[in-house]
């Protein structure tokens, strides 16, 4: 790190995530002087290529194809190392962009201190972007603190040894993906959740179908349960919980905590910059992603809201428009953001679930069919994966699609077509009568959307 006391930049980006690095590259190519500060050389590129989307989906793919856990970890580690290098060189190759490795902390609204060991460097910026992401929350459960048995998702994907018995705390997206993955690798997986069912944001029928898929893979569920403690025993660790007024326990080798994530702002000293945060700890922004300081923006998970890489990418478009464009683009422009949950087969959803649509007063039609019963979807039969279902929620008055949940082969791709249809007013009938390639998963829409119920 340079020993220069102070360096001024047009743009300072704190964190190497998708949104920040995209703006940094765009501004650097325009000749603006840019500093990107990342606290760890192991996180060049941000969460997604290092400890998030890429390694988890790589491991899931390896599990689905029958690879052993050790082989899968090795291939995934090589992939993330390669991507980390590409991300670094993409910015480092731009003459006006400087990558600084160290912990960033505000000194005042225009000044950031970067520390690495005993070295300190102070930088100033006309514009600053906070892009530090989010981090897993570990609940204060007796026995968890300091235990080598307790892991976050970040820890677990880097583990060399496959846990024979794994407990997953949380029936949301992260917990379910890891449960599916490790069950396919051969772990005995138990999912524990306080809720009466998994995937609380989904319709009952969709959540039930997903639970059945996981049960078929060998995952055991303990629902409506509160975890009360962890203690070492001769054969591993005993995870105690209370369910239905009764105390019980399960002995495991590892525990994955998938109980949510919080904005990563510790150590930033946001108070010295007079940057306001929400009650939940996220950096507070307006619809153009400006903080309480007009020259400071926040992008990605640190600002709260949907924690998706593609949302962070869209954040970068909004900020870039403020810096070099018309300044009119905002979060209000966003419509119908899809998401995918990579169990096997994947679950993807966009828009309203049936209950939400009815509560909002829509006259609703529903098209729903089990994948195994869809004659016009030979792709699923070719691949030998006919589990799951497809469900569409439709406005009976306008024939517009209000939402869709796809638990099927290729769902993560199909949902993008549905989302595009929703954004551009393409009706359910239009989607039903589309001419699609064969054999493909898309042609299932011809059949699923042909029969509806009120």
Rounded CA gap, 183 and 192, in Å? 15
SS3 56: helix
CA distance 35 to 21: 10
Cβ contact 12:80 at 8 Å: no
Query: Are 199 and 176 within 8 A, CB to CB?
Result: yes
Q: Are strands 364-370 and 261-263 parallel, antiparallel or unpaired?
A: unpaired
Biggest CA-to-CA distance, the chain: 70
What are φ and ψ of residue 295, in 5° steps? -90, 0
Phi, psi torsion values for 352, nearest 5 degrees:
-85, 145
Burial classification of residue 39, based on how many CB atoms lie within 10 Å of its CB (0-12 exposed, 13-18 middle, 19 or more buried): buried
Burial environment of residue 317 by CB neighbours within 10 A (0 to 12, 13 to 18, 19 or more): middle
* Helix ranges (DSSP H) in 17-130: 18-29, 47-51, 53-64, 69-92
Tokens representing residue 407 in the block: 């638990």
Report how far Cα 103 is from the mean position of its chain's Cα atoms: 24
Closest CA relative to residue 194, chosen from 172, 240, 225, 221: 225
Query: 338-365 in b/e burial notation, b at 16+ Cβ within 10 A?
Result: bbbbbbbbbbbbbbbbbeebeeeebebb
In 3-state terms, what secondary structure has residue 111?
strand
- Measured distance CA(29)–CA(19) in Å, rounded: 16
Q: How many CB atoms lie within 10 A of CB 398?
A: 13
Backbone angles phi, psi at 261, to 5 degrees: -130, 155
* Three-state secondary-structure class, residue 178: helix
Q: Which one-letter DSSP state was computed for residue 3?
A: -
Hey, which residues are catalytic here?
A: 438
Residue 427, C-beta contacts closer than 8 angstroms, at least 6 positions apart? 398, 399, 400, 401, 421
Residue 314 token pair:
């869209």
Structure tokens at 323: 């810096």
């Amino acid at each position: 790190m340079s020993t220069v006391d102070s360096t001024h930049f047009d743009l300072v980006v704190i964190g190497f995530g998708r949104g920040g690095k995209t703006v940094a590259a765009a501004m650097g190519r325009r000749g603006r002087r840019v500093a990107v500060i990342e606290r760890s050389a192991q996180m060049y590129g941000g969460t997604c290529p290092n400890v998030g989307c890429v390694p988890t989906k790589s491991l899931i793919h390896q599990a689905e194809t029958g690879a052993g856990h050790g082989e899968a970890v090795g291939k995934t580690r090589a992939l993330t190392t390669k991507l980390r290098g590409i991300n670094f060189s993409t910015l480092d190759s731009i003459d006006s962009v400087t990558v600084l490795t160290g912990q960033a902390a505000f000194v005042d609204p225009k000044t950031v201190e970067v520390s690495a060991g005993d070295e300190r460097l102070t930088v100033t910026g006309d514009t600053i972007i906070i892009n530090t992401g989010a981090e897993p929350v570990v609940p204060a459960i007796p026995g968890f603190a300091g235990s080598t048995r307790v892991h976050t998702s970040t820890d677990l994907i880097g583990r060399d040894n496959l846990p024979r018995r794994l407990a997953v705390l949380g029936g949301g997206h992260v917990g379910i993906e890891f449960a599916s993955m490790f069950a396919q690798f051969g772990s005995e997986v138990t999912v524990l959740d306080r809720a009466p069912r998994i995937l609380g944001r989904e319709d009952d029928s969709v959540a039930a179908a997903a639970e059945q898929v996981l049960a078929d893979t060998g995952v055991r569920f303990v629902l409506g349960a509160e975890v009360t403690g962890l203690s070492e025993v001769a054969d591993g660790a005993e995870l105690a919980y209370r369910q239905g007024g009764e105390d019980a326990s399960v002995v495991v080798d590892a525990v994955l905590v998938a109980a949510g994530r919080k904005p990563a702002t510790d150590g930033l000293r946001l108070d010295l910059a007079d940057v306001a945060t929400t009650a939940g700890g996220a950096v507070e922004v307006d619809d153009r992603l400006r903080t309480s300081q007009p020259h400071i923006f926040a992008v990605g998970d640190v600002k709260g809201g949907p924690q998706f890489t593609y949302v962070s990418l869209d954040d970068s478009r909004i900020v870039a428009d403020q810096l070099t464009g018309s300044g009119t683009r905002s979060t209000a422009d966003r419509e119908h953001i899809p998401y995918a949950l990579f169990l096997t087969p994947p679950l993807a959803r966009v828009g309203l679930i049936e209950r939400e649509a009815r509560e909002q007063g829509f006259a609703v039609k529903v098209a729903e069919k089990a994948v195994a019963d869809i004659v016009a979807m030979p792709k699923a039969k070719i691949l030998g994966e006919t589990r799951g279902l497809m469900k569409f929620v439709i406005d009976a008055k306008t024939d517009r699609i209000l939402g869709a949940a796809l638990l099927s082969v290729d769902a993560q791709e199909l949902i993008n077509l549905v989302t595009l249809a929703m954004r551009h007013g393409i009706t359910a009938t239009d989607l039903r009568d589309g001419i699609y390639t064969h054999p493909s998963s898309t042609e299932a829409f011809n059949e699923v959307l042909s029969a509806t119920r009120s």
